[in-house]
């Protein structure tokens, strides 16, 4: 009977435990049972249906809320005896968040009017109802999340939620591109602006001049100010749409090393945003670190901005910035530092005997490394004319790499691995040799070849001749088109790495259950997710190397990603968020970053969330294994 079962459950659940037997029986007479299959949601119900309170009889659900643009945050997990629908009941409005059922779930549904009658008639129940609501369903989830900052917080949150168009409040000053330098200077002085957008005959932006252009190209050069201003304008105009978030503008400014960004609204010029605007919004901008790196001319001078990268990482983690944003910012700034180090190294080592490209590999190639390092790197150089030139190139680049790594160590960055001089061939090869290496790996298609080559597929140009990396990428994609056996072996190889407890139903299902022991987080936690996405990207000819960029490129062409893409993106942020915090905690305490991870250091909510991510990865591994390749 629903009555006896329901009464037992309600009597054990706050706030209904405050009701006497008669009130409980009256309430239970009005409740009904609802069934929700695993994976279903309660986010799109009509207002009348959404405002009912539900108490879980059997099963589990998670509560998330959506905010910003395409962002969501985990609020809490609910299990047997837990309630959801408090806020909707009080406001009479639709659910503000989304309830996702993690298992087949049965709920008792209590109509809004029935609860409102209880609140009016029973003062003790009403008091406990609001105490439970405030402490269990508002304060506790946010306090739990705050321990590891899974939710946005602090002064930087505006950077991640504010559209860039909201910063373009002042009228944009423009001028024809055929005016003189003197006229342009007068316009800038009159309007007290640091930049001037130049418009061509068709009314479109043709260029931009800044105070820096006037200082570096006019004053210091003694240029005649009667000359046309277009002779000193910067032609590369980087733009952003008004609806883009400020964080996207920040990425562009760091990437292109610019301080002014044009803002368009539906294709029409709306205004201009400067680094100063973002610094005022954020309080302290990563752009200042980039500027400091660019202005330094010695290894000793680079030590200060290098330390600030580590401090910035800690600041973002403390403020709860999402992992993918932290990694993107860290990668852009880290790239600037490494390029500066490589530039200084080349001056010290002398001219290169052949053109070359310095490649970032693995996590660095995917832009998923928190602190800059040359551990995951390689060199591709132009094909030598003869064996002697090849020998000279090998010696030069080994010396070059060693100097660069010593420089990073001198700057106080974590110690990186220096390749064995007897094994430099795998790190430093000519264009022809790299192409042969990839061709051999793909052709051999055995487990050793796959395991040896995986991280090399995640390469990108860090410094030097970009076209060399692009040419190598084209060659690899061409070989992979005929690499069916290689993909089968790759699937078999990568699916052997199973996330911790991926086959288990619960991570910390009971308070009495002992948490799992330590494990290699990099190997068991991160690698399975990265491997799956890399596999699908290579199979589908995706050029991207970043895991999230690969996921987004796969959305329209991979049925597996169409089904699980959003969950994988959420899992990426969760898994990498814990990893970043783990690494930073070790570095801050003066220890080298170590992959050993202790889940018991997480609170129960975090452990549940992490286990859900691991179970998802295990599920996709099984689908990949059974439905596609074997």
Three-class secondary structure assignment of 356-404: EEEEECHHHHCCCCCCCCCCCEEEEECCCCCHHHHHHHHHHHHHHHHHH
Query: How far is the CA of 457 from the CAs of 235, 361, 465, 534, in angstroms?
Result: 34, 8, 18, 8
pLDDT digits (tens, 9 = 90+) for 548-570: 999 999 988 998 898 888 889 88
Residue 607 CB coordination number (10 Å): 18
Residue 615 CB coordination number (10 Å): 20
Q: Say if residue 163's pLDDT is above 90.
A: no
Indicate whether 122 and 36 sit together in one domain: yes
| Pairing state between β 356-360 and 83-84 | unpaired
Q: Is 548 within a domain?
A: yes
Closest CA to 52 of 79, 96, 89, 78: 89
Q: How many CA atoms lie within 13 A of 409 on its CB side?
A: 12
The tokens for 133 are 């609501």
Q: Say if residue 627's pLDDT is above 70.
A: no
pLDDT of residue 71: 46
Tell whether the torsion through CA atoms of 152, 156, 162 and 163 is positive or negative: negative
Q: How many domains does the chain have?
A: 3
Question: Among 235, 262, 287, where does a domain finish?
Answer: 287
Q: Is 337 within a domain?
A: no
| pTM value > 0.85 | no
Question: Among 259, 287, 315, where does a domain finish?
Answer: 287
Query: Which alpha helices (H) appear in 72-164, and where do they start and end?
Result: 86-91, 112-121, 123-134, 140-148, 157-161
pLDDT of residue 262: 84
Residue 627 CB coordination number (10 Å): 10
Question: Among 228, 262, 287, where does a domain finish?
Answer: 287
Indicate whether 139 and 210 sit together in one domain: no
- CATH number for position 199: 3.10.580.10
pLDDT of residue 236: 58
Q: Is 401 within a domain?
A: no
- Inter-residue contact 459 to 346 (CB < 8 Å): no
What mean pLDDT comes out for the span 605-610? 78
Cβ neighbours of residue 590 under 8 Å, at least 6 residues apart?
Answer: none
pLDDT band at 513 (very low <50, low <70, confident <90, very high): very low
DSSP 412-460: TPPP-PPPPGGGGGGTEEEHHHHHHHHHHHHHH--HHHHHHHGGGGG-E
Indicate whether 128 and 179 sit together in one domain: no
Distance CA 577, CA 319 (A): 12
Q: Say if residue 32's pLDDT is above 50.
A: yes
- Out of 268-277, 460-469, 513-522, least confident range: 513-522
Percent of the chain with pLDDT over 70: 79
Q: Say if residue 591's pLDDT is above 70.
A: no
Distance CA 286, CA 312 (A): 8
- Inter-residue contact 567 to 616 (CB < 8 Å): yes
Residue 148 or 22, more confident:
22
- Out of 54-63, 181-190, 424-433, least confident range: 424-433
Indicate whether 213 and 129 sit together in one domain: no
Give φ, ψ of 378 to 5 degrees: -155, 170
Indicate whether 611 and 505 sit together in one domain: yes
Q: Say if residue 141's pLDDT is above 70.
A: no
Q: Is 311 within a domain?
A: no
List beta partners, residue 377. Answer: 360
Q: Is 413 within a domain?
A: no
Indicate whether 80 and 30 sit together in one domain: yes
Q: Is 322 within a domain?
A: no
pLDDT digits (tens, 9 = 90+) for 294-340: 888 887 788 878 877 877 787 777 667 788 888 888 888 888 889 99
Q: Is 224 within a domain?
A: yes
Torsion, Cα of 346, 350, 352, 356 (10° steps)? 0
Through-space distance between the first and last CA atoms of the chain, rounded to whole angstroms? 48
In 246-376, which ranges are E strands?
Answer: 260-265, 268-274, 356-360
- Out of 123-127, 421-425, 590-594, least confident range: 421-425
The tokens for 223 are 């240029």
Residue 245 or 533, more confident:
533
Indicate whether 164 and 135 sit together in one domain: no
Q: Is 480 within a domain?
A: no
- Inter-residue contact 337 to 293 (CB < 8 Å): yes
pLDDT band at 418 (very low <50, low <70, confident <90, very high): very low
- CATH number for position 136: 2.60.120.10
Q: At 61, which helix (H) or strand (E)?
A: strand 61-67
pLDDT digits (tens, 9 = 90+) for 367-390: 998 888 777 889 999 999 999 999
Indicate whether 185 and 258 sit together in one domain: yes
pLDDT digits (tens, 9 = 90+) for 51-93: 688 888 888 887 776 544 444 555 566 778 888 776 666 555 5
Tell whether the torsion through CA atoms of 171, 177, 178 and 181 is positive or negative: positive
Distance CA 498, CA 524 (A): 7
Indicate whether 7 and 139 sit together in one domain: yes
Look up tokens 């064996």; give the residue: 387
Residue 421 or 130, more confident:
130
The tokens for 151 are 């939710």
Indicate whether 203 and 133 sit together in one domain: no
Q: Say if residue 194's pLDDT is above 60.
A: yes
Give φ, ψ of 452 to 5 degrees: -70, -30
Domain of residue 549 covers 495-629
What mean pLDDT comes out for the span 598-625? 83
- Out of 259-273, 403-417, 424-438, 501-515, least confident range: 501-515
100 preceded by cis ω (within 30°)? no
pLDDT of residue 140: 43
Indicate whether 28 and 139 sit together in one domain: yes
pLDDT of residue 220: 83
User: Based on C-alpha coordinates, what's the Rg of the chain?
Assistant: 29
Residue 150 or 409, more confident:
409
Indicate whether 231 and 174 sit together in one domain: yes
Residue 26 or 605, more confident:
26
pLDDT of residue 314: 77
pLDDT band at 421 (very low <50, low <70, confident <90, very high): very low
Residue 387 or 511, more confident:
387
């Amino acid at each position: 009977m629903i009555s006896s079962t329901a009464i037992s459950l309600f009597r054990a659940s706050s706030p209904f435990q405050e009701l006497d037997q008669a009130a409980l029986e009256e309430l239970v007479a009005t409740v009904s049972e609802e069934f929700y299959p695993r994976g279903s949601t309660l986010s799109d119900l009509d207002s009348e249906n959404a405002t009912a309170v539900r108490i879980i009889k059997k099963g589990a659900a998670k509560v998330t809320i959506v905010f910003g643009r395409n962002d969501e945050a985990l609020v809490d997990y609910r299990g047997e005896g837990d309630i959801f629908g408090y806020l909707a009941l009080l406001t009479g409005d639709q659910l503000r968040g989304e309830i996702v059922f993690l298992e087949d779930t049965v709920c008792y549904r209590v109509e809004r009017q029935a609860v409102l009658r209880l609140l009016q008639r029973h003062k003790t129940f009403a008091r406990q109802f609001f105490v439970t609501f405030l402490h269990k369903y508002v304060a506790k989830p946010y306090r739990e999340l705050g321990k590891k900052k899974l939710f946005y917080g602090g002064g930087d949150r505006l950077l991640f939620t504010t559209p860039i168009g909201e910063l373009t409040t002042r009228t944009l000053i423009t001028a024809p591109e055929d005016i003189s330098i003197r006229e342009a200077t007068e316009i800038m002085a009159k309007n007290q602006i640091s930049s001037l957008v130049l418009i061509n005959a068709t009314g479109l932006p043709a260029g931009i001049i800044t105070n820096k252009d006037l200082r570096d190209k006019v004053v210091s050069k003694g240029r005649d100010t009667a000359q046309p201003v277009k002779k000193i304008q910067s032609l590369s105009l980087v733009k952003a749409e008004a609806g883009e978030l400020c964080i996207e503008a920040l990425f562009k400014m760091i990437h292109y090393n610019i301080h002014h960004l044009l803002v368009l609204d539906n294709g029409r010029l709306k205004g201009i945003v400067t680094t100063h605007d973002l610094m005022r919004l954020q309080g302290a901008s990563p752009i200042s670190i980039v500027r400091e790196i660019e202005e330094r001319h010695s290894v000793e001078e680079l030590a200060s901005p290098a330390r600030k990268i580590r401090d910035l990482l800690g600041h973002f983690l403390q403020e709860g910035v999402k992992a993918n944003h932290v990694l993107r910012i860290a990668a852009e700034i880290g790239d600037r530092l490494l390029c500066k180090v490589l530039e200084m190294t080349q001056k010290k080592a002398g001219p290169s005997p052949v053109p070359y490209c310095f490649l970032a590999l693995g996590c660095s190639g995917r832009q998923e490394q928190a602190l800059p390092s040359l551990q995951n790197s390689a060199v591709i150089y132009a094909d030598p004319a003869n064996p002697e030139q090849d020998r000279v190139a090998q010696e030069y680049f080994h010396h070059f790499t060693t100097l660069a790594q010593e420089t990073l160590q001198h700057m106080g960055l974590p110690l990186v691995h220096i390749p064995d001089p007897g094994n430099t061939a795998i790190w430093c090869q000519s264009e022809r040799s790299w192409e042969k290496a990839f061709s051999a790996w793909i052709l051999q298609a055995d487990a050793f070849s796959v395991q040896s080559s995986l991280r090399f597929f995640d390469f990108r140009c860090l410094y030097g001749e970009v076209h060399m990396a692009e040419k190598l990428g084209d060659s690899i994609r061409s070989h992979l088109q005929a690499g069916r056996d290689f993909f089968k072996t790759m699937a078999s190889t990568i699916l052997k790495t199973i996330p911790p407890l991926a086959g288990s139903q619960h991570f910390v299902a009971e308070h009495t259950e002992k948490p799992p022991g330590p494990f290699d987080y990099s190997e068991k936690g991160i690698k399975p997710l990265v491997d799956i996405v890399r596999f699908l990207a290579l199979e589908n000819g995706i050029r991207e190397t970043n895991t999230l960029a690969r996921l987004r490129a796969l959305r329209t062409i991979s049925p597996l990603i169409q089904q699980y893409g959003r969950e994988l993106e959420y899992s990426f942020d969760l898994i990498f968020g814990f990893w970043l915090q783990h690494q930073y905690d070790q570095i801050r305490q003066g220890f080298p970053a170590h992959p050993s991870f202790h889940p018991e250091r997480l609170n129960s909510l975090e452990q549940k969330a992490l286990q859900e991510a691991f179970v998802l990865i295990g599920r996709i591994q099984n689908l990949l294994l059974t439905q596609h390749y074997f």
